[in-house]
Amino acid sequence: MTEEIVLSVKGIEKNFTGTKALRGVEFSLRRGEIHALVGENGAGKTTLMNIISGVFKPDAGEIFVDGKRVEINSPHEAQKLNISFVHQEIALCDDVTVAENIFMPAINESKSFTVNFKKLYSEAVEILKPLANIRPDMPVSELSMSNHQIVEIARALSLNCKVLILDEPTSALSESESVALFKILHDLKNKGIGIIYISHRMGEVFSECDRVTVLRDGNYLGTYNINDIDRKEIVNKMVGRELDDTYPPKKKRNEISGEVLFEVKDFTSNRFKNISFKLFKGEVLGIAGLVGSGRSEMAQAICGIRPVKKGKAYYMGKELKLNSPGESIKKGVVYLTEDRKIDGLFLDLSIVKNISAMDIPKISGKLIISSKLEENQANNYVKIFDIKCRGIQQSVRSLSGGNQQKVLFSKILTVNPKIIFMDEPTRGIDVGAKAEIYKLIRKLTESGVGVILISSELPEVIGMSDRVMVMHEGEKTGELVEENINEKQIIHMASGITK
């Protein structure tokens, strides 16, 4: 492998209305390496990449491509310099074919009045063949999440990119899809493409990347060969303080009473069938499975958000009817959504109003809301969770990911839930906030709340669950306890090999 530098930046500064997002950041990328960029939310990773890909202009600093100083004023100019950015929120046109999406930049540049579809398809096949088995004439809306990402990568390749930037590409992918993605990335690396890889997942950084650059609060903390540093050091640099163990200790098997807190029998809908499980008092039940295995759909159905064909739920032996979100919230069975921005929070409303949303009667008499009760409630949660904000009237949109998630938790806890289905409770939040949420989960179970944890991150499922239920294509494929909770077993069951 060569040591040739394809891209480097020096002394990058960027201000956003008063806040310094980047202060004197440097970064360099070699030909044919996967270079991880890590840091907590707000560290400036995405801002730096937006500068490199021409979305933002830096206030100060220099960018060099192939040793030559350049100015990148727009994403279009970045493309011309063979820099491609695969955004976290995938930007594809849903109703258009795969091939048209791949060649969107080329079609845009083309002088011809018509599009030669035959040629388009054959060229698309050529690009896609080494990546995945995707038909070029399929509309993108029919593709899975991981294939969306592959189409984006194919688009970057069609532009003959030398620098490929990926922003948390695996956050929406299942374990096996991630593995497939890394295989592709390693192939690209061997062809000499430099890859910048933004991630929150330390596991991936250590298993897949060559070097790592750490940012904290817009400052450059250093670049390291992955072999010269360990996980703990990196995390400490990111957070700027020593972290306790990420996962709080589990319950011992004999500490969990045999008392059944919550039970589900024979839940069936068009996305999953015959799901039954028990949740014992004091334990965390993890649910693992690939994306598309029906985990979230099942949780939503139990909470009355999706229709069910049949199935019964019991709390402490008594049957619960949960036909609508309103009804299930009243009965204390709540669903913590996997996507706080889409269906969790009211981004443009204040922290106060977000926290009150689930239990309006609690802050109002029959009809009229008491500002005092409402504000006290919000102040209370801000204190308990240490939500970092300018004040409770601040809009939730302007909070960081971790603080947004804390607001979401506050909202759910206002109803004093008995059972919480947590769908990806730590998605997209930084290490420090993750640890706090894990502690909170343990505290909840100790106080008698049942927690069902759905997660695509295997280390999280393994680290947090006292028992794990695995699903595959809408069916339960098994349950694991104690030392059987390990990656091998889970992946085995999740891929449907054992039944």
Residues near other proteins (CB under 8 A) are 16-17, 19, 21, 41-42, 44-47, 49-50, 55-56, 74-75, 85, 87-89, 167-168, 171, 305, 324-326, 328-330, 335, 337, 342-349, 353, 356-358, 360-361, 364, 367-369, 371, 397-401, 411, 427-429
Our CA angle for 131, 137, 140, nearest 5°, is 70
Shortest separation between residue 168's beta carbon and other proteins, angstroms: 7
φ, ψ for residue 319 (rounded to 5)? -70, 140
Q: Which is nearer to other proteins, 88 or 176 (CB)?
A: 88
DSSP 173-203: S-HHHHHHHHHHHHHHHHTT-EEEEE-S-HH
Other CB atoms within 10 Å distance of the CB of residue 280: 18
φ, ψ for residue 415 (rounded to 5)? -90, 10
Shortest separation between residue 405's beta carbon and other proteins, angstroms: 9
Shortest separation between residue 35's beta carbon and other proteins, angstroms: 18
Shortest separation between residue 148's beta carbon and other proteins, angstroms: 16
SS3 232: helix
Give every strand in the sheet of 19-30, ordered side by side: 68-70, 60-65, 5-16, 19-30, 219-225, 211-216, 34-38, 194-198, 163-167, 83-86
Token pair in block for residue 242: 């020593």
Shortest separation between residue 301's beta carbon and other proteins, angstroms: 13
Cα separations in angstroms, 283 against 333, 423, 462 = 16, 17, 13
Return the closest-CA partner of residue 355 out of 406, 296, 290, 399.
406
How far apart are alpha carbons 88 and 335 in whole angstroms? 25
Q: Which is nearer to other proteins, 335 or 385 (CB)?
A: 335
Q: Which is nearer to other proteins, 300 or 489 (CB)?
A: 300
Shortest separation between residue 189's beta carbon and other proteins, angstroms: 23
Return the closest-CA partner of residue 453 out of 419, 483, 429, 404.
419
Other CB atoms within 10 Å distance of the CB of residue 94: 11
Q: Which is nearer to other proteins, 219 or 364 (CB)?
A: 364
Q: Which is nearer to other proteins, 279 or 412 (CB)?
A: 412
Shortest separation between residue 298's beta carbon and other proteins, angstroms: 16
Q: Which is nearer to other proteins, 44 or 478 (CB)?
A: 44
Q: Which is nearer to other proteins, 265 or 306 (CB)?
A: 306
How far apart are alpha carbons 157 and 56 in whole angstroms? 23
Shortest separation between residue 234's beta carbon and other proteins, angstroms: 19
Q: Which is nearer to other proteins, 339 or 475 (CB)?
A: 339
Our CA angle for 182, 36, 437, nearest 5°, is 90
Q: What sections of 223-312 are H helices per DSSP?
A: 231-239, 295-302
Shortest separation between residue 496's beta carbon and other proteins, angstroms: 30
Q: Which is nearer to other proteins, 364 or 376 (CB)?
A: 364
